[in-house]
Structures are given as structure tokens and as C-alpha cells.
Structure 1
Amino acid sequence: MGLSVIGAGFGRTGTLSLKGALEQLGFGPCHHMAEVFAHPEQIPAWKQATAGAAVDWDELLAGYRATVDWPSAYFWRELAAAYPEAKVLLSTRDVDSWYASFSNTILKLIAAKDEITVPPVRAALEMGAPLVSTKVFGDRADDPEHAKAVFRAHEAEVRRTIPAERLLVFDVREGWAPLCAFLAVPVPDGPFPRLNDAEQFKALTGS
């Protein structure tokens, strides 16, 4: 089946809400770090990908129609090349509010990973920490100005690389209209999903 939608936005840019929205619109299942927690059998393949091994994306993402969030968002270039017909979503938010959320959730969880006792969460963190901390932020994620500069540079690179007609830069606060127009699907009845605030994040990860 292959991917129809590729998420290029960093974690804590509304990616779980976006996962819910895409699945509601028929672009599911959608891969997200929550899928790694739920399916720890995926972890070895993601570890290999993070280490630079060649990846069979059809095999790793078999059954998924969309991706958002890390770990897949780190590989947005590779996925965009592997699935040239797929559209690309760059989920975004104000950089200061993003860092506040990131530092209070993902960064805090990574720092405490050795204390995590929930096996699938700990295994997922052992995969995700090197990707996020080292690959994305150069082991300086706890430096707010550096992390925010990385965020801005990443968004600029996605905008430069992906043709405008293939890309939607999307803030989940915008709701259904721009997303549905981009994907050429009707706007559904009911509100846009609002998922994964800080308390939901803690419940999801067992932290």
C-alpha cells in the first residue's frame, strides 16, 4: 500500500492530534512514537535505521498509510524519496511554546530513562534517546537556544526541500479546513482531535 502522508514535524508539535485526525480522515493507521510503545517488536529495526543501516521502508512501515512524530520524522528525506507520491505535512507551533512542552515531556523522560520500569517504554527510550538527543540535537537538547535553532533550521530545510505543492505547513490549532483541503477530502463533522497534553503524555509513557 505504501505511505500517502509523511509527517516531517518534530515531536510536541501536535503530532498525536494529527495522528488522530489523519486516521479519522482515512489515512490510517498512522505511525507515531505511540506505535513503538505499543509494538516494541519494531524497536530493533528503528535502532538499525538510527545507526545508519539501509532500511526497507515498505517492510518497516508495512500496513501504515501515514507517519508523524519521531522516529519517522527524522527520516523525512528518505521517506519523501521512497514515496514520491506521498504528501508531506510539517506540523509546527510557536518555537518557545514548543521548547517549553518538549523540555517538560520528552526531554525530561529521556533524562530519566534509566529509572523507567515499564519495559516497552524503557526499550522505546533506549531507541529514541540516541535519535532525538544525539542525531537531532547533537547532545545539546537541554540548551534552549540551541534546540530552538535546530527546530527553526529543520523547518527551513523542509520548506526548501519539498516542493510547495507537495507540502503543508500545519498548526493543529488551524483545525480541519487546511488539512482537508490539502488532502482533498471532505471536512468531517465534529471537532478536530485534541490529544497529548502533558498529562496525557505522562499517562501514555507511564512516566
Structure 2
Amino acid sequence: MKVICAGYWKTGTKSLAEALRILGYKVYDYDDQLLELGHLWDKFHDGTVTDQYIYASLKDVDVLIDGPVVAFWEEIHKVFTEAKIILTTRDEDSWYKSYQAMHNSVSTKQSLQHLLWLFLPGGRDFLRRVQALLRFCQGIEGPLGLRPSDNPRLYKLKFRKHNSYVCQCAPRDKLLIHGADNGWEPICKFLGKDIPDVLYPHKNKSGSLPLLDDSCNPKLKKLLHQSEIALYCVGVVFSLLTCWIAYCMFS
């Protein structure tokens, strides 16, 4: 473990993840963490994790960013004390607007696909871990724990407390506070890397729910494709059933 990214989602984490890949790191984003390291987060959530288990699970990972590491960055750093910590952050009002816009961008079709994940291999565990994470970090409850409430003060408070805690508790010589517009120089200086001859990446400009792109975990891609097929089949069955009911009523 070389770099622990402790910043909340919607603070430029997708751009930072791509930047760290360009610098040669093996990066585990939220989907990699939930699908490849689910056993570790399950132990974190039920209180049975040990330092030895954390080390064995993460010794071959270079970078964790977004997702579960946001909640458990401190425990992980206690095991990997030489790891650098990057806190991505932004103005809390713009952060909340981006966070809210992400959820508002979820279409009815995507919501139905997520519901179908409950019946797909791996899908139920993925959603369960997402729900546990959001409940732990932000106090989000309700069906699947995926929809935010209408209380912006709750989210801004959690965001502010998290950033303050990281700044207070992370070792000063191991911490970099990074804004999305800071570019390559502070990151490369902090990590002892040469500045690449490419522009600093700007991923997920739309602020939408990042589910499927080139860096997406193959297991998540498979899950999305399976739910697409399942949704199509449900639509066909519903259409046939509707036609049959109409035929019975008017024949």
C-alpha cells in the first residue's frame, strides 16, 4: 500500500485515480474495492477485522480511492504507516450540488437495473456493501440506502467533519490536501514522481453516477450487462402479459 486517498466522492476522485494510473500505480477504485476486496469491508463493518487481515488483503495494492477507504483510511494507515495520504476536497456547497446532481442523474432504467441486482450473483453483496458504506459515512438509511435525503445540512456536516478529522489526525509529513484544479505539480512533488508530459485528467465532467467506463471493474461490467438483459426480459414478459390481459378483456 503506497497511497491512501481519503477524500469523499465528488471531490475529483475519478480524475485523481486516472492521474495515479498515469504515474504507474495499481489503483483500486470503489468498484474494485467492493468487488475484489468485499471480504475485507465485511470484516470492517462487523468488527472482526485484524491488522494482519488488513495487511494480507492490501499488501499488493498500490492505491485505494473513493468508496470504503473513505470510511477506514485511518485503520489502514495504522497498518501501512509509510503510505502517503491524499485528501481531495472542494467547497462544501459545490460538493453537495455535485453529489445531489449525481443522484438526480440516475434514470428510471438505471434504478430498475439496480433493483434487479438483488437477484443477480454478486449484485446483492455489492448493494449491501454500498448501503453499509453510506450508512457508516453519511447516515443514509432507507431502501438499498442509495438515495440521499433532502437535508443538505446533514451531508455538508458529514463532509466537513470528515475533512477536519483527516487534517487533524493524519501525520503532517504524510498528508497532501489536493484540489481538483491543483494539477500535476503538488501530487508529483508529494509522491516523488516526474510530471508527465500530458494534461492532468478531468474525468466524469458531467458529475453523473460513474458506472461504466474504460477503467470499470470487469465484474461490474458483467453485472451491468446481466441486469440489462434481465431488464429486457422483464419488459418482454410484461408486454406479453399486458397483451394477454387486453385480449381476455375485449375478446
Q: TM-score range by the shorter chain?
A: 0.7 to 0.9
Secondary structure in 2 aligned to 1:192? coil
Secondary structure in 1 aligned to 2:37? helix
Q: Which of 68, 78, 94 lines up with 1:71 in the alignment?
A: 68
Q: Which of 154, 167, 179 lines up with 1:159 in the alignment?
A: 167
Secondary structure in 1 aligned to 2:140? coil
**What whole-Å deviation, never above 9, does each CA across 1:170-192 have from its counterpart, x for those lacking one?**
01211101111111111100111
- Between the aligned partners of 2:73 and 2:14, the Cα distance in structure 1 is 17
Task: Output the TM-score relative to the length of structure 1.
Answer: 0.84
- Between the aligned partners of 2:156 and 2:136, the Cα distance in structure 1 is 15
Secondary structure in 1 aligned to 2:49? coil
Change (3 A) 1:32 1:90: same
Task: Output the TM-score relative to the length of structure 2.
Answer: 0.70
Secondary structure in 2 aligned to 1:6? strand
Unaligned runs of 5+ in 1: none
Q: Which of 31, 39, 44 lines up with 1:44 in the alignment?
A: 39
- Between the aligned partners of 2:104 and 2:42, the Cα distance in structure 1 is 19
> Is 1:32–1:71's contact at 8 Å kept on the other side of the alignment?
no
> Is 1:116–1:122's contact at 8 Å kept on the other side of the alignment?
no
Aligned to 1:17: 15
**Where do residues 103-122 of structure 1 align in structure 2 (5 Å cutoff)?**
103-105=100-102, 112=111, 115-117=114-116, 119=120, 120=122
Alpha-carbon distance, 1:113 to partner: 8.0
User: Matched residue pairs, number?
Assistant: 200
Change (3 A) 1:164 1:36: closer
Computed over aligned residues only, the root mean square deviation of the Cα atoms, in angstroms, reads: 2.7
Aligned to 1:176: 184
Alpha-carbon distance, 1:15 to partner: 1.1
> Is 1:180–1:186's contact at 8 Å kept on the other side of the alignment?
yes
Alpha-carbon distance, 1:159 to partner: 0.6
Alpha-carbon distance, 1:115 to partner: 4.0
Change (3 A) 1:14 1:47: same
Change (3 A) 1:4 1:42: closer
Change (3 A) 1:163 1:199: closer
Q: Which amino acid aligns with 2:128?
A: E
- Between the aligned partners of 1:113 and 1:42, the Cα distance in structure 2 is 26
> Is 1:113–1:125's contact at 8 Å kept on the other side of the alignment?
no
**Where do residues 127-206 of structure 1 align in structure 2 (5 Å cutoff)?**
127-132=129-134, 134-139=135-140, 141-142=148-149, 143-197=151-205, 198-199=207-208, 201-203=210-212
**What whole-Å deviation, never above 9, does each CA across 1:138-196 have from its counterpart, x for those lacking one?**
23752211110110111111111112221100012111011111111111001111112
Unaligned runs of 5+ in 2: 142-147, 214-219, 229-251
Alpha-carbon distance, 1:95 to partner: 1.1
**Where do residues 70-89 of structure 1 align in structure 2 (5 Å cutoff)?**
70-89=67-86
Query: Percent identity of the aligned residues?
Result: 29
Alpha-carbon distance, 1:121 to partner: 5.5
